[in-house]
Amino acid sequence: MTQNQALHQTPAPTDAHAVDLSGVPETMLWTLWNRACEMRRASRLIEDPMAADLVARIDYDFAGRFGRPSVFHPVRARYSDDLIRAYLRSVTEDPVVVALGEGLETQLLRVDDGRVRWVSVDLPEAMAVRRKLLPAHPRGALVEASALDPSWMDAVPRTAPPFITAAGLLMYFEEAEVAALLCRIAEAFPGAQIFFDAIPPVFSRKTLRGLKVTRRYTAPPMPWGISIDDLPAFIRRIPGLQVVSVQSYADPFPQRTRLYRTLSRIPALRRRFAASLAHLRCRE
């Protein structure tokens, strides 16, 4: 079997666990699949053995549903890992990370510095799967709530200003909901850092029409799309927020996204098709 064939095979489950998810919560399996497949590469972006273990233990046809693995979820995971590691190095008090819509992300296991307190926020059906499949962590707290429900903020320790990640989440909300959420975060957590990604409008429109990832899987609707060129202005309109950086998915690891990076250098194509990685800071 070639490496290419191995990358596209779903491992046979051992001690398999059935997972019944649909809609947005099911996307946690999509991102898990791509992170697990990244572990089969010799020159991988992330070290995520737990993702590979979960794919082996979950009774689900990952390859049949999601098809060929994509590099973009590992790119996002590694980019946000690096941001969080830099945050942890900069904090002398007890650091806090809040992961909104975390699903089956295993980021805490990848970046844990022995000090960080981690607050995972997700819908009850997603959190039930996380409780079932992932071990409890002594510095981890699980909060069953939508990211749009302000109650999760009460669970965040008030030590250091937190790092708040919303990877693969905000595109499932309306633009007004995204703006309101970011505004609440800026008000509640002065000095906090925020990471999220955004899709372009052309991709958003495709999901609203029913985007077929494979014959057997249709991506959920993603109402919020914004051009990479328009995202900084959108952020600056929200009181208390400032842009640290906005990059395309092609920028952080060009050796893995050569074609996408080439296309992203053409202004018209970048504006139309590039997805964004945004790093923000809340003013103190």
Residue-wise pLDDT tens digits, 67-126: 999 999 999 999 999 999 999 999 998 999 999 999 999 999 999 999 999 999 999 999
pTM: 0.92
pLDDT at 2 over 80: no
Residue 220 confidence (pLDDT)? 97
pLDDT at 47 over 50: yes
For residues 110 and 150, the answer to whether their CB atoms sit within 8 Å is no
Residue 6 confidence (pLDDT)? 39
For residues 93 and 160, the answer to whether their CB atoms sit within 8 Å is yes
Residue 262 confidence (pLDDT)? 79
In tens, the pLDDT along 152-202 reads: 999 999 999 999 999 999 999 999 999 999 999 999 999 999 999 999 999
Average pLDDT over residues 29-44: 96
Q: Kind of pairing, strands 140-144 and 117-122?
A: parallel
Separation of alpha carbons 183 and 179, rounded Å: 6
- Alpha-carbon dihedral sign for residues 224, 152, 73, 183: positive
In tens, the pLDDT along 218-268 reads: 999 999 999 999 999 999 999 999 999 999 999 999 889 877 777 778 888
Residue 15 confidence (pLDDT)? 62
Average pLDDT over residues 147-152: 98
Instruction: List the helix and strand counts (H, then E) for the chain.
Output: 12, 11
Cβ neighbours around 110 below 10 Å, total: 20
Q: Kind of pairing, strands 163-166 and 96-100?
A: parallel
C-alpha dist (Å) from residue 204 to 8, 182, 196, 211, 260: 26, 20, 16, 9, 18
Distance in angstroms between the alpha carbons of the first and the last residue of the chain: 55
| pLDDT grade for 129, boundaries at 50, 70 and 90 | very high
